[in-house]
Amino acid sequence: MINTVIFDMDGLLIDSEPLWGEAMTEVFATVGVALTPELASHTTGLRTAEVVDYWQNYFKWEGKDNLQVTNEIIDAVIAKIMAKGEAMEGLEYILEYFTQKNFKIGLASSSPLRLIESAVDHMGIRDRFQAISSAEFESHGKPHPAVYLTCAKKLGSSPLDCVAFEDSVTGMTAAKAARMKTVVVPEAHNRENKRYALADVQLGSLLDFNDAILQKLG
């Protein structure tokens, strides 16, 4: 029986994807790389270090090593979240919905832990989660299921009793690989992506989730 919900964070609970885009554009520009939004979309859902490795292999910049670029991006995103990070539509609704259902609630993100903690503190939602897991500490990031499996273990839940909420194809693939029911809330411009057919449910907003959908999943 489904009794646990695990959320992704960036682009699902917090409108941070544009901030990631800004930060990557600014930092990559310091090594002579012009990263367009279209190019950036190729690495959505990956860990920051994996994004940097991907584009280093593509552009072959010099002057800064990958670790320095990675840390500069993370620092820039944290600063932007603290300055202007906003909740996604339905954030409070969905957290309260599952709290009222007495679900165990977790967060499983590709972001590094220090960024996750800054974001949930900024949004005032840290106390909503009984477990927070970062793919930073896994041998593989999403689309590998490791971070979801770790979060479920922390919550004392079987993956088969979990529903995962995601906004990206990479994250959805990770949750399905963990054998969890999966709800996707893609960005508006990406809702027609046929790969989202793998999800159990696709929504336009977190506000669209309700008892009928939960019953369908369960």
Q: How far is CA 53 from CA 9, 49, 59, 60, 136, in A?
A: 22, 6, 10, 10, 15
Angstrom CA distances, 211 to 46, 117, 184, stand at 32, 30, 16
How many degrees, rounded to 5, is the angle at CA 92 between CA 89 and CA 93?
80
Of the listed 10, 15, 161, 167, which one is catalytic? Answer: 10
Taking alpha carbons only, the member of 198, 215, 188 closest to residue 18 is 188
Residue 213, classed as helix, strand or coil, is helix
> Annotated catalytic, 167?
no
Question: Hey, is 82 helix, strand or coil?
Answer: helix
- Asked if 10 is an active-site residue, the reply is yes
Phi, psi for 104 (deg, rounded to 5): -75, 135
Which of the following is catalytic: 8, 15, 161, 167?
8
CA angle 121, 124, 126 (to 5 degrees): 65
Positions marked catalytic: 8, 10
